[in-house]
Amino acid sequence: MEKKHLPALSQNWLSMIGAVLALVSFFIILFLLSINLVIGIKNPYLGIVLYMVLPAFLVLGLLLIPAGMYARWRRLQGQGKIGHEKWPAIDLNKRSHRTSFVIFVSGTLLFILVSAVGMYQAYRYTDSVAFCGRTCHTVMKPEYTTYQQSPHARVKCAECHIGPGVGWYAKSKLSGLYQVYAVIANVYPRPIPTPISSLRPARVTCEQCHWPGQFFGAMQRRFDHYRYDKQNTRWLLNMLLRVGSGSAMTAGKSGIHWHVGHDITIEYIARDIRRQDIPWVRVTDIRTGTVKVFQDKEKPLSENEIAAAVPRIMDCMDCHNRPSHNLQSPDYEIDRELSFGRIDGSLPDIKSEAVEAMRGDYRSDAEAVKGIETTMTDFYRKNYPEIIEARKEAIADAVKAVQRAFLKNVFPGMNAKWSDYPNDIGHFIFRGCMRCHDGRHRTAGGSAIPHDCHTCHIILEQWKEGPTETLNLERGEDFRHPVDIGFAWKEMGCYECHRGVQP
């Protein structure tokens, strides 16, 4: 019986190296795929090796095989050992040709099968949270850490950043090539600038889950603030937010989500890239065709500036601009720790001292952890020596809470903290709503964008008092500032004093 041999042209070093490279890569891929199917791969770098690096070596090995055969064929022709017939020449009547043909067809079918599985797994992997958040650990640390604390922690990154469809998936991967280069070359900005200009329109992503047209009524929010005094006096603010909807049935009375109603188009021009200074707003009622243009009367845009600008159509992201990556301020975080009881509010001056320790200028996480502990313990040792031992555990717990709050919200390696990322929901430490609702935006006829507090929220109770018996649920109570500043709070924005740290 005639012994079967591999094609003579394949017996060269280049083809043999290609065959070994392809076989080794293939079996490693099969092995890792089996592990992934059974127990899953948690390490993001192992996923990169499996779905990107090894397939590249496999394809390279397969390409080296015919490249080596072609090189050997040309060399044998040059030496006169074979004729000058065209290559490849296939004659299935020859046993060697049949063997080569069977190997080629079988290998091709197997490669297509494995490639189909591998490409699907690669698609899934590059859409995974681990790939987005953990691959470039230093760069994405702020986003990944804050994402895990957000209301969207169980929503995959790609569902918001890419959305459905192949087109945007391909576009995002192509734009990601520069990001890979920036990380490798270490030329990426610190912190990462926002807003992201290439983000897909919110109505294609956010509204896959959130539907403004079906938001009705109000949503209760309760804020527990603590003052910067020795007693850490608690200040309660309990309110209803007029969430409302974007439905035509409730137009004009529908609350906050009227801004993104399907029968209303709001456009604006911002002076800055971060959209914090908005001097021009245009509101179009699609049902009636009515158009109103509001300008900031103190610093309006010129006609040339308006003509040169491209107005942005308002969508969810113009208010909810930090839905999953919100870096909270020290003031907010320490209020939460006090409210949850993780910091003992009976410790004198703990609110002001905890905020001061968290806002420190630290160059690394390790320096922050040490600095917070030193700052707080030294403060009590110096100012309250009588409690440093008696309340040792309470002080230690407070230190740990402040350290945790820092590590979740401040990232020295990326120069990222709360002040670098304005949050446009509300108007407490950033302009937010008051970018437009400041009383200065008016039409040529004098109509103003509403500035009244009761437009968006109804205060049910505040400070240390309960609701009054005569509370009007349509209007609520008038706001009372916890510190007597007269009517200054009516004439200026909260954000002008409150910066996320002690005023």
pLDDT of residue 247: 44
- Does residue 461 share a domain with residue 317? yes
Write the DSSP string, 169-193. Answer: HHHHHHHHHHHHHHHHHT---SSPP
In DSSP terms, 281 is beta-bridged to 268, 294
pLDDT of residue 108: 78
User: Which of 133-142, 265-274, 380-389 is the least confident region?
Assistant: 133-142
- Whether 197 is covered by a domain: the verdict is no
pLDDT of residue 363: 93
Q: Is it the case that residue 487 has pLDDT exceeding 90?
A: no
- Does residue 449 share a domain with residue 400? no
Averaged pLDDT of the chain:
84
The rounded percent of the chain whose pLDDT value lies above 70 is 89
Q: Is it the case that residue 305 has pLDDT exceeding 80?
A: yes
- Whether 220 is covered by a domain: the verdict is yes
Q: Which of 128, 125, 199 is nearest to 161 (CA)?
A: 199
What's the pLDDT tens digit per position in 288-298?
A: 999 999 999 99
Query: Phi, psi at residue 339, to the nearest 5°?
Result: -65, -40
What's the pLDDT tens digit per position in 449-468?
A: 988 888 888 888 887 655 66
Q: Is it the case that residue 1 has pLDDT exceeding 50?
A: no
- Whether 204 is covered by a domain: the verdict is no
Q: Which residues form the domain of 55?
A: 8-126
Q: How confident is the model at residue 268 (pLDDT cuts 50, 70, 90)?
A: very high
- Whether 196 is covered by a domain: the verdict is no
Q: What is the mean pLDDT of residues 350-354?
A: 96
Q: How confident is the model at residue 44 (pLDDT cuts 50, 70, 90)?
A: low
pLDDT of residue 85: 63
In this predicted model, which residue has the larger pLDDT, 122 or 83?
122
What is the total count of domains within the chain? 4
Q: Is it the case that residue 86 has pLDDT exceeding 80?
A: no
pLDDT of residue 400: 97
- Does residue 149 share a domain with residue 114? no
- Does residue 473 share a domain with residue 358? no
In the listed set 373, 395, 420, which residue is the last one of a domain according to the structure?
Answer: 420
- Whether 254 is covered by a domain: the verdict is yes
pLDDT of residue 4: 52
pLDDT of residue 303: 92
Q: What is the mean pLDDT of residues 345-351?
A: 95
Can you state the angle between helices 137-148 and 392-409, rounded to 10 degrees?
A: 120
- Whether 193 is covered by a domain: the verdict is no
Task: Give the single-character DSSP code of 4.
Answer: P
- Does residue 67 share a domain with residue 90? yes
pLDDT of residue 287: 87
- Does residue 271 share a domain with residue 171? no
What's the predicted TM-score (pTM) here?
A: 0.78
- Does residue 441 share a domain with residue 305? yes
Contacts (Cβ under 8 Å, ≥6 apart) of 41: 32, 35, 47, 50
- Does residue 230 share a domain with residue 271? yes
Q: How confident is the model at residue 186 (pLDDT cuts 50, 70, 90)?
A: confident
- Whether 69 is covered by a domain: the verdict is yes
- Does residue 310 share a domain with residue 163? no
pLDDT of residue 280: 97
Exposed/middle/buried for residue 130 (C-beta within 10 Å: 0-12, 13-18, 19+): middle
pLDDT of residue 78: 73
- Does residue 442 share a domain with residue 416? no
Q: Is it the case that residue 181 has pLDDT exceeding 60?
A: yes
pLDDT of residue 43: 65
- Does residue 121 share a domain with residue 13? yes
In the listed set 420, 447, 477, which residue is the last one of a domain according to the structure?
Answer: 420
Angle at 23 between CA 57 and CA 123, to 5 degrees: 50
Q: What is the mean pLDDT of residues 180-193?
A: 86
Q: Is it the case that residue 3 has pLDDT exceeding 60?
A: no
User: Which of 36-40, 73-77, 207-211 is the least confident region?
Assistant: 36-40
In the listed set 405, 420, 435, which residue is the last one of a domain according to the structure?
Answer: 420
What's the pLDDT tens digit per position in 127-159?
A: 778 778 877 777 889 999 999 999 898 888 888
Q: Is it the case that residue 87 has pLDDT exceeding 70?
A: no
- Does residue 108 share a domain with residue 163? no
